Structure 1
Amino acid sequence: MSLVGYARVSTDLQDTAAQRRELKAAGCTEIREEFASGTMRARPVLAKLVASLGRGDVLVVVRIDRLARSLSHLLEVIETLEAKGAHVRSLGDPIDTTSPHGKFTLQILGATAEFERALIRERNMAGLASAREKGCVGGNPGLRDRDPEAIATVCRARNRSYFDKLNKEAQQWLPAVRQFRPRLPWEDVVRIVNSRHPGAKPWTVERLRRAAGRFVKDGLLDRAVLDRAPPAQKDDRILAIVVGIKSSAPEMTLKQIAARLEAMREPTPRGRAKWATSSVAHLLEQAQRAGLLESD
């Protein structure tokens, strides 16, 4: 388990020294600092930190307001980490998702947020009904009038929303993109991503390329992932796909890997639709000799 601290102040005129001391005293082996307002959800350092944490890791903050200023954002970050098997701990608040008490506190916060959303929806519906009775037309007046400032505000909001959604889904697609791009073409990377998360919404080439481009733009991915894939031998491509399946689920048997390849409609090196476990074993042995997989 790795304890990683996150220290944040609103401007570069402020100092994170006090936060860093507390985080270091709490046992954090690494501390990331960011200079950004807490009201900003799209914070590059936080997004990169959340994307890098893995199973058993703990994101530690001095106070929960260093992580998020709204309950919805806090729950979003925690849910993203929980999906990866990582946790959140606040030194100054009763929030520690590694403990039963901390999880209970989180459940209370979640119920409160849901109740708050229900009240907001109810008030919005009542307000819209009242406006319709008075003959008022809904919508943003600035957008109706094509006001540049109003349009820019809406674009910024949509941009933030898109980044937050990508960040929440990062555990689905980011590891495969880092591992296989640009060595494999986008079509094959999409198939690997979808095979790793069969219950999630399927990714398309365009959607995955756009997601990677956004992370490259924010400095969260190496620009090389957008390069054109070099011509590759079919055997090399199949080997990479098998490595991707095995590395994402080391406990999978040869039979299960064969079934996954068939579900992906990936033909064998000889062009057959049916995979034999011996063919899978041969590819895994090749991967181990090439240093792509650790020996069992």
Structure 2
Amino acid sequence: MSLIGYARVSTDLQDTPAQRRELKAAGCTEIHEEFASGAMRVRPVLARVLSGMSRGDVLVVVRIDRLARSLSHLLEIIEGLEARGAHFRSLGDPIDTTSPQGKFTLQILGATAEFERALTRERTMAGLASAREKGRVGGNPGLRDRDPEAIAKVRRARDRSYFDKLNGDAQHWLPAVRQFRPRLPWEDVVRIINSRHPDAKPWTVERLRRASARFVKDGLLDRAVLDRASPAQKDDRILVIVAGIKSSAPEITLKQIAARLEAMREPTPRGRPKWATSSVAHLLERARQMGLLKNDPVQRK
């Protein structure tokens, strides 16, 4: 079991030595620092730390607010860790998912979040019913009158809501877009994302293009990802896909890579539906020679 620390401050005018000292005293063998607002769900260092967590590892923070600013975000991160067989511990709060007491506290937090959502729904329905009883028509008066300022305000609110939703799911799609576009066409990137997260809502080409364009608009993605994919030989294309699968999960075996390719309905270079581990090993070796992969060992099981 490895204790992995995460320290965050909001601006470069602040520093992290105090957090580092506490994390080191708690036994953390690795400590990662990030300068970012806690309200930002997409944080490169945090995303890298979470993607590198293995079974039995424990993510440690000094306080919950160093990791997340909302209960929903906190629970989302912890659920992601549990899916990997990893755990979470906050030194300043009674949350430690390696212990029964910490898990109980987490269950209480989850129930509290659900209770708050139920109350919000109940208040909304009660407010609408009260308005109907008083003869008031629902909706925005400015929109009914086609007021330009009201319309612009609603559009901004919808855009912000759309961005927040994309931001919340960014750990699923953003790394693949950064890694593969524009080297691969959108269709291949969508298949890679869907194969990595089979339980999530499937992505489509149009949805992924729109999400990427929205992040480009805010400078969170390089504009080059929207460029047309350059023509490539099929063999070169499959090299990039296999290298991407291996780099996203370094411990993956040849058999697992073959299964992933078959799940993506990716035919072999000879057009066959079934992949042999020897073919995968050959492509990985070529990918290393082309500089697409580090010279790491291959698991053959």
Change (3 A) 1:230 1:62: same
Distance 1:247 1:49 in 2: 17
Match of 1:16 in 2: 14
**Which of residues 45, 52, 59 in structure 1 aligns to 2:48?**
52
Preserved contact between residue 60 and residue 91 of structure 2 (Cα < 8 Å): no
Counterparts in 2 of 1:1-296, with a 5 A limit? Answer: 1-8=3-10, 16=14, 20-27=16-23, 29-34=31-36, 41=39, 43=40, 47-54=43-50, 55=53, 56=57, 58=59, 60=61, 62=63, 64=65, 67-68=68-69, 70-76=70-76, 78-79=78-79, 90-97=90-97, 100-249=100-249, 254-291=254-291, 292=293, 294-296=296-298
Contact persistence 1:193–1:203 (CA under 8 A) = yes
Per-residue deviation at 1:249? Answer: 4.6
Cα offset, 1:259, TM superposition: 4.2
Tell me by how many angstroms 1:266 deviates. Answer: 2.3
Contact 1:181–1:226, Cα closer than 8 Å, also in 2: yes
The 1:84/1:252 distance shift into structure 2, 3 A limit, reads closer
Aligned residue pairs, count: 283
TM-score, length-scaled by structure 1: 0.77
Rounded Cα–Cα distance in structure 1 between residues aligned with 2:218 and 2:89: 26
Identify the range of structure 1 (49-58 vs 199-208) with the bigger mean alpha-carbon deviation.
49-58
For 1:234 and 1:151, how far apart are their aligned partners in 2?
A: 48
Q: Distance in 1 between matches of 2:254 and 2:111?
A: 43
Superposed CA offset, 1:76-121 (max 9, x none): 4554665577766545433445654433322211101211221222
* Amino acid corresponding to residue 185 of structure 1 in structure 2: P
Q: TM-score, normalised by structure 2?
A: 0.76
CA distance in 2, matches of 1:285, 1:117: 51
User: Secondary structure, in 3 states, of the residue corresponding to 2:167?
Assistant: helix
Percent of aligned positions that are identical: 71
- Segment drifting more, 195-204 vs 279-288: 279-288
Q: Give the superposition deviation at 1:225.
A: 2.7
RMSD: 3.4
Structure-2 separation of matches of 1:145 and 1:47? 41
List alignment gaps of at least 5 residues for structure 2.
25-30
Deviation at 1:261, TM superposition (A): 2.8
Q: In 2, Cα distance between the equivalents of 1:72 and 1:256?
A: 33
Query: What's the offset of the Cα at 1:47?
Result: 3.6
Identify unmatched segments of 5+ residues in structure 1: none
* 169-178 vs 275-284, greater mean Cα deviation: 275-284
The verdict on how the C-alpha distance between 1:73 and 1:138 changes in structure 2, with shifts beyond 3 A counting, is farther
Distance across 2 between alignment mates of 1:82 and 1:166: 22
| Cα-to-partner distance string for 1:133-187 (whole Å, 9 max, x where unaligned) | 3322212223323344433443333333223322332232222222222221222
* Matches of 2:82 and 2:194, distance apart in 1: 20
Contact 1:7 1:61 (C-alpha < 8 Å) held by counterparts = no
- Cα distance per residue 1:56-80 (max 9 Å; x no partner): 4736354638841x54454445546
**For residue 280 of structure 2, what is the amino acid of its counterpart?**
V
Which amino acid letter does the alignment assign opposite residue 49 of structure 2? L
Secondary structure of the equivalent of 2:34?
A: strand
- Give per-residue Cα distances to partners, 1:170-217, cap 9 Å, x unaligned: 232222222222221222111111122222221112222222233334
